Amino acid sequence: MSWHTQQEEEVLVDTLEVEENKLVIFNDEVNTFDHVISCLVEICQHELLQAEQCTMIIHYNGKCAVKNGEYKDLETMCTALHDRGLTAEIH
């Protein structure tokens, strides 16, 4: 096994060990489309079009993973979404 191949394998192992979490928002009968879109733009740093698309997915599918990342980063966003009346969980 060459040094180059061994180095590539080590990088792949390191990448696989990082567990990616998902911030999921659930549909409800309370919040408006505009409110959800605004929250996604302000809290999750979505572009307007991305926020609109996620909101439609939430509406029609009942939920949508709106952000991926490390748990500690998503936890802050999840709390902020709860504070604005949205139902969200980290998976």
Q: How many domains does the chain have?
A: 1
**By residue range, what is the domain housing residue 76?**
19-90
Does 13 map to a domain? no
Per residue in 25-60, pLDDT (tens digit) is 999 999 999 999 999 999 999 999 999 999 999 999
Report the run of H or E that residue 89 belongs to, with start and end. Answer: strand 87-90
Q: Does 78 score more than 70 pLDDT?
A: yes
In CATH, what number is assigned to the domain containing residue 65? 3.30.1390.10
DSSP three-state, residue 15: helix
In one letter, which amino acid is 16? L
Does 12 map to a domain? no
Instruction: Give the least confident one: 14-18, 39-43, 63-67, 72-76.
Output: 14-18
C-alpha Rg value of the chain to the nearest Å = 17
Does 74 map to a domain? yes
